[in-house]
Amino acid sequence: MFRDIRLIGAAFDPNSAVDALSAATPGAGGVATFTGKVRVTGGVEALELSHYEPLTLPGMEQLALQAEKRFDLLGLVIIHRVGRMNRGEPIVCVSAAAHHRRAAIDAVDFCMDHLKSAAWFWKRELRAGDWHWIEPRADDYADLARWDAK
């Protein structure tokens, strides 16, 4: 089982992480990836993510274990940035390798729903020179809740 779970404070290249996953899982029938980026529209000037360090990385590791078990994965990457980020920069990359595409796709979706709504991050955007806290939306919580029904 290939696993790359990281919390980082600097820019990163999601493609290199996905390439490493693909190279380490030659038997995978599918690799699915989601990369979230700082918005370049809506007047966003920057994004800042804070976190509670004693819980963040252990929580990400626990999420990875849940995904690996639930979807029978061959490999998983979860890389999440913290600190200040500029427009267009990657915030998060989740990539999963599995024998079949549906497991890989579902694993990425599962991880992102948890990272978006039940994670250990506080997010704010800089717009028009002012910082604004960003809270999960009702749709984010609904996306998360659907995993309890499966």
pLDDT in tens, 3-33: 999 999 999 999 999 999 999 999 999 999 9
pLDDT (tens digit per residue) in 63-89: 999 999 999 999 999 999 999 999 999
Judged against a pLDDT cut of 80, whether residue 149 lies above it is answered with no
* Domain CATH code at residue 44: 3.90.1170.40
pTM here is 0.95
In-domain check, residue 45: yes
Please report whether residue 119 resides in a domain. Answer: yes
Would you say residue 40 lies in a domain? Answer: yes
- Report the C-alpha gap between 96 and 3 in whole angstroms: 9
- Can you give the residue range of the structural domain that contains 54? 2-145
* 43 lies in some domain: yes
What is the number of structural domains in the chain?
A: 1
Let me know if residue 14 belongs to a domain.
yes
Backbone torsions φ then ψ of 109, nearest 5 degrees: -60, -45
150 within a domain of the structure (yes/no): no
Conformational region of residue 54, where left means phi above 0, alpha means psi within -120 to 50, and beta covers everything else: alpha
